[in-house]
Amino acid sequence: MVHDDKVNNLKESIKNLNNLSSIEKKNLIESIEMLWLNASVNKKKNQVNINIDDNENILRIRQLLAAAWSEDLKE
């Protein structure tokens, strides 16, 4: 019975992680859409300011890739 409890806890933990991954994926998609819209507005201004030293964009892209990878594993 103790083994069954551990297995059930593990299953619930995996389900929770998948739910959190789905939420993060939605948030990342919204962030990318906002970046895309911002880039579109800046393009119309004929001036795009991209801070190459800004690691935040790289981090968000890595998070998106991790979320996508997690989604692929669910299927």
Q: Supply the pTM of this predicted model.
A: 0.46
CB neighbour burial string for 28-66, b if at least 16 within 10 angstroms, e if fewer: beeeeeeeeeeeeeeeeeeeeeeeeeeeeeeeeeeebee
Tokens in use for 74? 């669910």
Checking if the pLDDT of 20 tops 60, the result is yes
Checking if the pLDDT of 6 tops 60, the result is yes
Residue 45 CA: distances (Å) to CA of 33, 49, 69? 19, 11, 35
State whether residue 6 is helix, strand or coil: helix
Confidence class for position 32, pLDDT limits 50, 70, 90: confident
Checking if the pLDDT of 48 tops 60, the result is no
The pLDDT score that the predictor gives to residue 56 is 75
